[in-house]
Amino acid sequence: MTGIDVLSRDGFATLKGKKIGLVTNHTGRTAEGVSTIDALAKAEGVTLVALFSPEHGIRGEKDEKVGDSKDDKTGLPVYSLYGDRRKPTKETLLGIDTLVYDIQDIGCRFYTFSSTLGLVLEAGQENGVQVIVLDRPNPVGGAIVEGPVRDEGKSTFVGFHTVPLRHGLTVGEMARMFNVERWHQREPARHPLCETGAAATPGTVPACRGGIPRRTCVI
């Protein structure tokens, strides 16, 4: 099951009482074909505050820099992460205590969605906002890892992290690796451990063992 389907199966309990900023596009869908935007907008006890769009826009229709907009269906603001900004800012995170990421990756290093994932995690660390990554399968599988590795210290938006061209990771596994290798943080919790501290009060950041703040959860 994908992360959004796990959330749906569990009645969105992990998100209850939280104010959500959703990072997604047209690939964020349930097994029934419902967009993650619609699923969270209708989820009881969940407050969807804003949307954040990656390269190609919230509907995957643009092949250029994308500006901020408004979602026609929900009326929510859509903050572009492929225009003048590449990661959520303090201003765009106002009123948000949790960022949810749900975008399908393709298993290749230069796909910019993995860079967006890394910058979203970075913004969460900088602003004290929890990040929940909804996992999806790697469409080319994880059995083969191959191709040249990005040069150390040569990070770009089409090469966020030092990994081979075909990295063999899912979105959730990438999030775990970024946290450990880039920020030397403990690995993100996996569902249902992301509610460590049994469901911490809304707006607080769950803690992992030892009381170290845990701002990333993979479902």
Q: From CA 167, how far away is CA 145, in angstroms rounded? A: 5
Beta pairing, strands 77-80 & 69-70: antiparallel
Average pLDDT value for residue range 50-55:
95
Q: Where are the alpha helices (DSSP H) in the chain?
A: 3-9, 36-42, 112-127, 171-183
Amino acid at 83: G
- Residue 151 pLDDT: 76
pLDDT tens per residue across span 96-135? 999 999 999 988 877 888 889 999 999 999 999 999 999 9
Average pLDDT, the chain: 84
Q: From CA 150, how far away is CA 148, in angstroms rounded? A: 6
Ranges 1-5, 23-27, 200-204: which has the least confidence: 200-204
- Residue 194 pLDDT: 52
User: Side by side, which strands form the sheet with 189-190?
Assistant: 69-70, 77-80, 47-53, 19-24, 98-102, 130-133, 216-218, 189-190
**Contact between residue 15 and residue 100 where contact means Cβ atoms under 8 Å apart:** yes
The model's pTM: 0.82
- Res 81 pLDDT > 60: yes
pLDDT tens per residue across span 141-189? 989 988 888 777 777 766 677 777 788 999 999 899 888 877 655 555 5
